[in-house]
Structure 1
Amino acid sequence: MQKNIDYTDGARSVLQNHIKPASQESKKHFSHFLQKTNKAFLPGSNVALAIKRVVFILPENFSLMSYAAAVDTLVTANLVHSDRLFDVSTYGIQSEKVKSDLGIEISTDGCLAVLQKPFLNEFHLIIVCGGYRCSTSENKLLSSVLKAAAKSKTMFAGIWNGAISFAYAGLMDDARCALHPDNHAFMRERFQKVAVTENTLETESKIVTSAGPASALTMMLQLIKQLQGREIMRAVRDILSCDQAEDNCVNQLTGMTYPVMPDNLRHIIQLMKANIEDPLSIDELADCLGISRRQIERLVRTHLNTSPSRYYLELRITYARRLLLQSSESITNIALACGFVTSSHFSNCFKDYFGSSPIQIRENFRRSLN
């Protein structure tokens, strides 16, 4: 798709006519699809949110892959906001050290015996992470802890066969349940009031259950949306779900709809991304694709709700932001790599969108890592 075209001074001026310095134009806002990509770095986006306390309960032989997928969503949520959103702790059932299904031992924050009733009321979410070789027998202490927590506003989530613990505590009666297929027969025979489904994820008012590692990620996105809002969920999803095909399950959970993108629009965006350093004019894009300039303008306006030049600029600014935070390149080199003639012109455009200069954004980001 890429067509290498020399970017003449005339062509550069065409694009620059769409880009005025901050002093001549009010602050710019990213169009919808690129706004969520840059959300965490935009001014005013990090509204103060209350910290939510999340507790993982790990039985022996828990699924390490499922646990990692779930914890990663919460850690990522903390990274996309200026303040900590989730306080995560982990407890073993009988010991402070718990062996996973891979034989890797995890050191927890304590065992269930230290969890007292007043302390349980402080938790917003309790997650039981099961695994293929986890025992299906009842643990009286775990049942007692879950029953006590259920009297508060605490939410519950079960991964793999974690829902079995909720069933023993009487929390799953007349509720739909998702769990690993290997445990369906046991759950149906032992707990006949539980509605075991073939779905990989089920959501009730206070309990969410998933069948394994892949559905655990989807489940955690749903819970993040409930606990901290849609925008945080979207930011986390964009980072962690980049290699997953969008399916009906995710759409239903996140409340997002993804319009079908026409081939020509997909090709337009591919060409723009392939020519960041030497941007093409809209007429050059049209020549490469064999369509008219008006067709390009209509496609971008209809599906992206902006103009081609504006979307191209936003792609370049987003590319610059990633280089800025992930490399040690100078501002001048980043400006050139993103198709800007001068570093001052780049800095003005960058500040129009992010409200801070490239240097300030880089320094703030590096401070947040310490």
Structure 2
Amino acid sequence: MADEDRNALSDSRPRFAFILQPEFPMNAFILATEALRIANQNSGQDLFDWLFVSESGQPVRASNGMRIDVHSDLAALPQCDYLILLEGNLPTQNNSPQLLQALRAAHRHGATVIAVDTGAFALARAGLTGERRLVLHWEAMPAYLEHFPDAEIANQLYLLDKQLGFCAGGVGMLDLMLELIGRLRGAALAREVANALIHTPREATRGQRVEGAAVGAVVSMSRRVIALMERHLDFPLSPRLIADKLGISVRTLERYCAREFGQTPTQLYLLVRLQAARNLLFYEEGDIKDIAVACGFSYPAVFTRAFKAQFGQSPRAFRQSFRDAQGRLIRPEIARLSAAKRH
């Protein structure tokens, strides 16, 4: 056994507490808990403890509609070594004072607090992030910057920084857990867990998105074009300015966009802005006119027409459709009573 593996071993049994928020990402939850289970199983020892927590102590609905029972509510949250907040499709709607206080208390008492997917919203509201770099799911980056415009967001799978951690979610959660298992119980066991889950571990700094099937310079340019447009949503750049910032001619930019995206630069930019608006509508509760401005539409009517042409419904109808569904699924007993009263 390598020295670093031997030094990672400890007689203590690390405890992981998973706070499940409404609409939490089930894939990340399963990968995290399965990694711990397999580590215990393959070692023949109870190397790790874990428990599930919700604010009220009641079962929590995941993003895929499944409900998970929990062991504790926030008020009875036991002391833990790792507090992992699993947040998903409702990143700003459920950050109650009780949750923020629990995050602060755990951090103050020495726990490593880890935000998964959109959990960075809650850590920021709790005052824990400060000026640190952070990670969250790429779809939620524009929404996060609307709330915290000075934040430095790293486009990577996960980030561990002293007593704080951030993970983009998805399979990136498994990469984070393998890192923690390696630190706590040795790299050999982490490799066993990865093999059991048929996964090749990735570095923390690996980018979150696959930029198409092409390789080399084409992938690099794809990333640069889209990233530049995403950085300038509120005041869209002209094709000339885009080309200048990329160090190419306007004609080259036009040929590239036509070949790789089947769009003119202006058409591609519109798609990028509309997708960003769709994500903001999904994650945020702000006024639609504010979302329109944030995505470079000076007039809400222009935004509504463009959005409806792209997605088949108005921004208001789009938001209302999934908010109604989420409300029914998160609190089915209220929906049932309400339906009964109407009839």
TM range (shorter): 0.5 to 0.7
Higher relative contact order (CA 8 A, sep 6+): 1
Residue 104 of structure 1 corresponds to 66
Residue 150 of structure 1 corresponds to 107
| Matched letter for residue 67 of structure 1 | F
The correspondence of residues 1-370 of structure 1 with structure 2, limited to 5 A, is: 49-115=11-77, 119-120=78-79, 123-136=80-93, 138-192=95-149, 194-240=151-197, 242-244=198-200, 247-249=202-204
List alignment gaps of at least 5 residues for structure 2: 3-8, 207-343
1:203 Cα deviation (Å)?
A: 2.1
Structure 1 residues 65-94: Cα deviation after superposition (integer angstroms, max 9, x where no partner): 110011111111111112201111000123
Residue 42 of structure 1 corresponds to none
Question: Alpha carbons of 1:211 and 1:105: their partners in 2 closer, same or farther (altered >3 Å)?
Answer: same
Measured in 2, the distance between the counterparts of 1:68 and 1:181 equals 20
- Structure with bigger gyration radius: 1
1:134 Cα deviation (Å)?
A: 4.6
1:208 Cα deviation (Å)?
A: 1.8
Measured in 1, the distance between the counterparts of 2:94 and 2:59 equals 20
Contact 1:209 1:219 in 2 (8 A): no
Find the residue that maps to 1:213 and give its secondary structure: coil
Residue 19 of structure 1 corresponds to none
| Matched letter for residue 90 of structure 1 | F
TM-score normalized by structure 2? 0.54
Structure 1 residues 199-236: Cα deviation after superposition (integer angstroms, max 9, x where no partner): 22222112221112110000111111222232322221
Measured in 1, the distance between the counterparts of 2:202 and 2:179 equals 14
Measured in 2, the distance between the counterparts of 1:193 and 1:58 equals 28
Structure 1 runs of 4+ aligned residues shifted over 3 Å read 133-137, 246-251
Measured in 2, the distance between the counterparts of 1:131 and 1:137 equals 11
Find the residue that maps to 2:43 and give its secondary structure: coil
Question: Alpha carbons of 1:134 and 1:102: their partners in 2 closer, same or farther (altered >3 Å)?
Answer: farther
1:144 Cα deviation (Å)?
A: 0.4
Measured in 1, the distance between the counterparts of 2:192 and 2:14 equals 17
Measured in 2, the distance between the counterparts of 1:128 and 1:48 equals 25
Aligned length: 202
Contact 2:159 2:204 in 1 (8 A): no
Find the residue that maps to 2:72 and give its secondary structure: coil
1:182 Cα deviation (Å)?
A: 2.2
Question: Alpha carbons of 1:201 and 1:188: their partners in 2 closer, same or farther (altered >3 Å)?
Answer: same
Q: Please, what is the CA RMSD of the aligned residues?
A: 2.7
Measured in 2, the distance between the counterparts of 1:247 and 1:222 equals 10
Measured in 2, the distance between the counterparts of 1:54 and 1:226 equals 14
TM-score normalized by structure 1? 0.50
Identity of aligned residues (%): 23
Question: Alpha carbons of 1:146 and 1:103: their partners in 2 closer, same or farther (altered >3 Å)?
Answer: same
Measured in 1, the distance between the counterparts of 2:46 and 2:96 equals 33
* More deviation, 54-63/158-167: 158-167
Contact 1:61 1:99 in 2 (8 A): yes
1:48 Cα deviation (Å)?
A: 7.2
List alignment gaps of at least 5 residues for structure 1: 1-28, 33-46, 252-370
Structure 1 residues 334-362: Cα deviation after superposition (integer angstroms, max 9, x where no partner): xxxxxxxxxxxxxxxxxxxxxxxxxxxxx
Measured in 2, the distance between the counterparts of 1:180 and 1:131 equals 9
| Matched letter for residue 68 of structure 1 | I
Residue 319 of structure 1 corresponds to none
